[in-house]
Structure 1
């Protein structure tokens, strides 16, 4: 009897953890879609080529290598449009938390996302070129999101982006 209760408790814990991961993946999908709403504006402002757009579309693919500095410039532009970074080119914590919450994050998730970006910023603060630094921060963020198993599936992200474009 105690053994069956233990199994049930483990089952409930696994289901709760799975539910949390699924909710986090949905959150990252919504945030990615929200971020891409300013993509067209920045695409022309930064004057990026198709290869950078390819990087954007493959961003969440862990095996896809992000090497183009211009992707960092594009991310800076989008973050500026969304008022997520300040003049110092660092994440504005309060606005970033609001952005996450507006896409479905709870307080803990929003704080965790901000902490991840902040940690990535600190790791790469020595890089003087703003675009190259943002590229490295973006790669760091992607890696940490994959470690949490929060990365959205590419198929779902593409569906959301296409739906938002229509």
Structure 2
């Protein structure tokens, strides 16, 4: 999960500039894996969509692209069975929140659902390690 998260974060700055997102968006991502951190900011959902598009993780209809997501996960260190499980979780979260009309709010709800499920599996990465690695690569 650590390598996946840092791989995903690499396009955050690009999206932040493109969408003219406020500075606090970095803080929201920093705290993402903390279960007690409330994710309520619509901007974060918009950033997730932008990042996902740049990484080709969603298709033209805005749905999870299973093949590309599987490839992204395995490229960033996930074993095949772990990548498959991540896609199952994301797909389930996507289905649960498909009725949310605002695409940024839907992405935010999917992200919250994903975080909860990853914590239930005890797969959540330690943020201090991720931030150190991402900052080192910048």
TM range (shorter): over 0.9
For the residues of structure 2 that align with 1:50 and 1:58, how far apart are their CA atoms? 14
The answer to whether residue 28 in structure 2 is matched with residue 35 in structure 1 is no
- The superposition leaves residues 36-80 of structure 1 with CA deviations (integer Å, 9 ceiling, x where unpaired) of 111111001111102222101111111111000110000000000
Q: Select which of 92, 96, 107 maps to 1:134.
A: 107
CA distance in 1, matches of 2:41, 2:25: 7
Query: What do you get for the CA RMSD once the two structures are aligned?
Result: 0.7
1:60 aligns with 2:55: no
1:115 is aligned to 2:88: yes
Q: Which has the larger radius of gyration?
A: 1
Tell me whether 1:47 sits opposite 2:20 in the alignment: yes
User: Conserved in 2, the CA contact under 8 Å of 1:31 and 1:100?
Assistant: yes
Give, in whole Å, the separation in 2 of the partners of 1:117 and 1:163. Answer: 29
1:50-129, aligned counterparts within 5 Å? 50-129=23-102
Q: How far did residue 160 of structure 1 move?
A: 1.2
**Structure 2 CA distance for aligned equivalents of residues 74 and 36 of structure 1:** 10
Unaligned residue ranges in structure 1 (runs of 5+): 1-27
Greater helix content: 1
The residue number in structure 2 matching 1:154 is 127
Q: Which residue of 2 aligns with 1:7?
A: none
CA distance in 1, matches of 2:118, 2:44: 18
- Is the contact made by 1:33 and 1:164 (CA closer than 8 Å) also made in structure 2? no
Range with greater deviation from structure 2 (64-73 or 50-59): 50-59
TM-score of the pair, normalised by structure 2 = 0.98
Q: Which runs of 5+ in 2 are unaligned?
A: none
Give the 4+ runs in structure 1 shifted more than 4 A: none
TM-score calculated relative to the size of structure 1: 0.81
